[in-house]
Structure 1
Amino acid sequence: MKVSETIIGQVHGKEVVAYTLTNPNGISLTAMTYGATITELLMPDKNGKTENVILAMDSLDDYVTHRPYYGATIGRVAGRITKGAFDLDGTAHQVVVNEGGNQLHGGPTGLDTLVWDAEVQASADEASIHFTTIDEDGANGYPGTLSVTVSYTLTSDSEWKITYRATTDQATLFNPTNHVYFNLSGDINKPILQHDLQLNSAAFAELGDENLPSGALLPAEGTPFDFRSGGKLSVAAEGSHPQTRKVAGFDHPFLLQHDEGQPDAILSDTESGRSVKMFTDQDCVVIFMHNGAVDKYTIAGSPVIQYAGITLETQALPDAVNQEGFGDITLHPDEVYSAETIYKFEVQN
């Protein structure tokens, strides 16, 4: 395994360092200390052509200015919190809102906006970047000083492992994710609608007003949300289901049915031969298809088209603190939060 590092700029008066891990199969992963963000994932296709298969900004300044969440570590709480309000152990809390009247992805200065510390470890079989940060008590309105470690490991078997670990000195909320967008074609100007998705999920969370969960988990069977037998992503953009029409595609949480030893999801692109298998210990994956075009910034010099990429954001169900039956995302001082997601990259000829 090979490891290299480059200083790419400064944010908040701190140097931002990008680390690149490369395995013997021609796959390399680059991640930077700003936001513990993955900025490049190079992968060969079935013809041996190597391309970046994730969405990434053209410069560090673009990440800071536009905050697109591409590849970033999201938290303390991924997704939306209704009105930025919740009750925690009998105490009412109000966090900072940043999307209308709600909080999105941890607030205006979430974990994706911090410059993390980092250490690198490498052996013959794998290499890891261990990102660490302290999110201070009161940051974005959250109680408790939160200590977080996020590790990215690239293996010789072409797995990207993401592991999370966190502790707190006061009861708080923690539900992180990584917001990487895949486009397995390797071409930012080619939409992901012809990608195939297989997903081990029989239910999805309904979206209500302001794209907040309504609290209902709906059966996927007979809807565009049923990918248990696989299907094209185009069904979400072309269908007439009120939930896909509401957001021009998917921006939905899917409840996962874990089968031991089996991937929770498989995303593949027939033309390039590339595929990624996802394994996670989390309850849910939020799937978002970059449902709108963007012209205020570019990727590789081009405006960002509609359906430029797809996220598979593993996490607890969004707004769990306000939705009965969505699980518990409270972290107490005597607990250690831990979670893992693995993306395994393969090429079929």
Structure 2
Amino acid sequence: MKKSEMANLRKYAGNLETLFGVKDYTYNDGPARGMRAFDVNNGRGLEMTLLADRGLDIPFLRYKGANMGFGAKVGVRAPQFYTENGGRGFLKQFDAGMLTTCGLTYAGAACTDNGRELGLHGPYSNTPAANVACETVFEGDEAVIRLRGEVREACVFEENMVLTREVRIHTEKSAFKVIDRVENQGFAPSPMMLIYHINFGYPMLDDGARIYVNSGHVEPRDDFARQGLPIHDRMEAPEIGREEQCYFHTGFPGQGFAMLHNEKLGLAAALRFDAKVLPLLCEWKCMRAGDYALGLEPTTSGVLSRVEARENGTLITLEPGQVYESGFEMELTDDAALIEEYKKLAN
């Protein structure tokens, strides 16, 4: 939506919110009751929901009527139901959606680190954001919808980490950016881990869909994943009881790129991230019936555990006052020529 077009558009639509904009509302039923949510419509086929009470994560995303994200069976749930209980506490809250952020001082597998029990993927996605704001601004001639909030992970005598998030949704193309700034506001060094658990589900994820990644190396997590390595980039139909397979992508050039293409729908979702700050991407290929999902997850330190990250030298430590900036951009498209060009970016 262009600023130069606004006056003419108002001749046709007295309220431009019928064409694009944001709805700010509260869930009133079930385990989601009480959560503040934002529904965003960019006027070009991109519709998404952001949850202020789940760290401004994204449970729902649709493009031109087609669902993009993976909605897990637990559904959208308010953060007060979360208990940090190994892996199960997180999974009972894991709606997944389009984006579940994992962190801030730990992410990945549950573990015991220096005597402290750490749950799966950390508390970020079950922490409400504060100072949440939404506005539409102009960047040049383009209207851009911006949402902002702050998430704090803190404990008496321990860490005091704050992530400031800005989500920018374009209106001249179907794309959005997540821009994060993590600051150590404590007085002692603190570990920092981030995983952007980006999840695709049916119908965008389907038998025959394919991923394209510009990584230099792909490492299977275990023997079962190794068996599927030759077809790790090709999605299959769901199977009852099938185990998940994880592949670790490394060796990116300056900018990481990953794309899911569904030829049957004629749609693609292209992901870009700075590989200097997010050097590893985990491909979570879960072809299990009822839990049918594909994760493309840029991360600072992998997904195994904080202990593992420390041992392999990938764990980041922020000094007092130090800031770490990260994020990603996602573009949705049905432009066949553009999709073919994007395929060339992958190895």
Q: Is the 8 A contact 2:59 2:76 kept in 1?
A: no
Matching residue of 1:155: 170
Matching residue of 2:192: 174
Q: Is the 8 A contact 2:77 2:95 kept in 1?
A: no
Which residue of 248, 253, 269 maps to 2:248?
253
Matching residue of 2:94: 68
What whole-Å deviation, never above 9, does each CA across 1:134-182 have from its counterpart, x for those lacking one? 21125xxx93111111222211221121121111213212222232311
Which residue of 22, 25, 37 maps to 2:44?
25
State yes or no: 1:38 paired with 2:54.
no
Relative distance call for 1:346 and 1:105 in structure 2 (3 A) is same
- Structure 1 residue 199: deviation in Å? 0.9
- Structure 1 residue 292: deviation in Å? 3.4
Relative distance call for 1:328 and 1:194 in structure 2 (3 A) is same
> Where does 1:198-217 land on structure 2 (aligned, <5 Å)?
198-205=212-219, 207=221
State how far apart, in whole Å, the 1-side matches of 2:200 and 2:25 are. 24
Q: Is the 8 A contact 2:112 2:118 kept in 1?
A: yes
Which residue of 141, 145, 151 maps to 1:133?
151
Write the letter of the residue equivalent to 1:35: R
Write the letter of the residue equivalent to 1:73: T
State how far apart, in whole Å, the 2-side matches of 1:256 and 1:162 are. 23
Q: Secondary structure at the match of 1:248?
A: coil
Matching residue of 1:145: 160
Q: Is the 8 A contact 1:195 1:270 kept in 2?
A: yes
Q: Secondary structure at the match of 1:272?
A: coil
State yes or no: 1:78 paired with 2:107.
yes
* Structure 2 alignment gaps of length 5 or more: 1-19, 83-91, 337-347
Q: Is the 8 A contact 1:126 1:154 kept in 2?
A: yes
Of residues 57-66 and 29-38 in structure 1, the stretch that sits farther from structure 2 once superposed is: 57-66
State how far apart, in whole Å, the 2-side matches of 1:248 and 1:348 are. 34
Greater per-residue helix proportion: 2
State how far apart, in whole Å, the 2-side matches of 1:136 and 1:287 are. 30
- Structure 1 residue 320: deviation in Å? 6.2
Q: Secondary structure at the match of 2:321?
A: coil
Q: Is the 8 A contact 2:44 2:174 kept in 1?
A: yes
Q: Secondary structure at the match of 1:112?
A: helix
Matching residue of 1:244: none
Q: Is the 8 A contact 1:69 1:179 kept in 2?
A: no
- Structure 1 residue 30: deviation in Å? 0.8
Matching residue of 1:337: 324
Matching residue of 2:115: 94
State yes or no: 1:2 paired with 2:21.
yes
Which residue of 134, 137, 152 maps to 1:120?
134
TM-score by length of 2: 0.71
State how far apart, in whole Å, the 1-side matches of 2:219 and 2:118 are. 22
Write the letter of the residue equivalent to 1:258: P
Relative distance call for 1:11 and 1:133 in structure 2 (3 A) is farther
Q: Count residues with an aligned counterpart.
A: 285
> Where does 1:39-58 land on structure 2 (aligned, <5 Å)?
39-44=59-64, 50-56=65-71
- Structure 1 residue 61: deviation in Å? 3.8
Relative distance call for 1:232 and 1:208 in structure 2 (3 A) is closer
- Structure 1 residue 223: deviation in Å? 7.8
What whole-Å deviation, never above 9, does each CA across 1:280-312 have from its counterpart, x for those lacking one? 11101111123434xxxxxxxxxx25xx22111
Percent of counterpart pairs with the same letter?
A: 14
Write the letter of the residue equivalent to 1:232: R
Matching residue of 1:241: none
- Structure 1 residue 9: deviation in Å? 4.5
Write the letter of the residue equivalent to 2:194: P
State how far apart, in whole Å, the 2-side matches of 1:158 and 1:336 are. 30
